[in-house]
Amino acid sequence: MPRNRYHHLGWHHGLELFEAAFSTQTFTRHAHEGFAIGAIAEGTGGYICRGESMILPRGSLSLMNPEEPHTGHAAAGRVRYNMLYASEQAVREILGLRDLRGFATIAPQDKGLRLTRALAILAERLNSPQSPGWRLGVEEAAHRVLAQAFAHYGGATLRQPGSEPAAIRYLRERLAASVAEGSAPSLTELAAEVGLSPSYLIRSTSRATGLTPHGHLLRARVDHARRQLLNGMTAAEAALAAGFCDQSHLIRQFRRHYGVTPGALVRH
């Protein structure tokens, strides 16, 4: 059964993620120093904010500006939600923003559940084993949450992605080399090495290739594992050599990339 869990990312701008799952717990009137960005995944939540008593069913967002007083409780039975806390400075640095307006609406509906899914992906990555590239995956997931929240609900204008062939070529070569070495750079490190902001690097890479930097890392891992399999390694050995946490993870990624499992790879 899901339980409350609180993640603090001291290495990444002090971001925090609260995975909440409760039925009787209540929160008295309080406020957060930074922005609070949440989505109801199951059940119905409720709180009093800006003088209104609000009910938030599944698919509702909770978007609060810094120092916004509010309460919190499960409005009907059990509620489960993910809430990301980020300081104003963190949002500016991660998204590369100068102008930061904040949220005008506290509890909008999440169109297409995009922000709900982005928060769920961040929680999933934070709870996954810390293999090489873990930080890159977490940084990308956090960026996706903030970009979705502020571009769609905070009136933020993100810099348009451009053509950065040299940076993208370097990124792909750097990630491939890191897999062979058994390591992986963080998104912050990659961005610094090519002289671009992390947010702009993600969006430019996605626009040009259809993959994010973390997507390129996964592809480099699968390619490396494939070469090791062709050299006679077992699937379990190839998974470890390519930086996957276990053989099942390699199998899932191998099927996504090649349409077959490692066992279906036939050498002639």
- Give me the pLDDT at residue 52, please: 87
Q: Which amino acid is at 30?
A: H
Low-confidence spans in the chain with pLDDT less than 70:
1-2
CATH topology match: 5-133 vs 165-264? no
Tokens representing residue 242 in the block: 């390519």
Tokens representing residue 131 in the block: 């293999």
Q: Which tens digits make up the pLDDT trace of 163-185?
A: 899 999 999 999 999 999 999 99
Q: Which of 147, 197, 194 is nearest to 175 (CA)?
A: 194
Q: CB under 8 Å to 247, separation ≥6 — which residues?
A: 235, 236, 239
Q: Which tens digits make up the pLDDT trace of 108-144?
A: 999 899 999 999 999 999 999 888 899 999 999 999 9
- Give me the pLDDT at residue 1, please: 52
Kindly list the domain boundaries of the chain, sorted by start residue: 5-133, 165-264
Domain 5-133: CATH superfamily, name plus number: Jelly Rolls (2.60.120.10)
Q: Which of 45, 72, 73, 48 is nearest to 60 (CA)?
A: 45
CATH number, span 165-264: 1.10.10.60
Pairing mode, if any, of strands 35-49 and 61-64?
Answer: antiparallel
| Dihedral angle, C-alpha 80, 199, 214, 152, nearest 10 ° | 40
Length of the chain: 268
Indicate the pTM of the whole model. 0.92
- Give me the pLDDT at residue 2, please: 63
Q: CB under 8 Å to 236, separation ≥6 — which residues?
A: 247
Q: Which of 146, 119, 120, 130 is nearest to 34 (CA)?
A: 146
- Give me the pLDDT at residue 51, please: 86
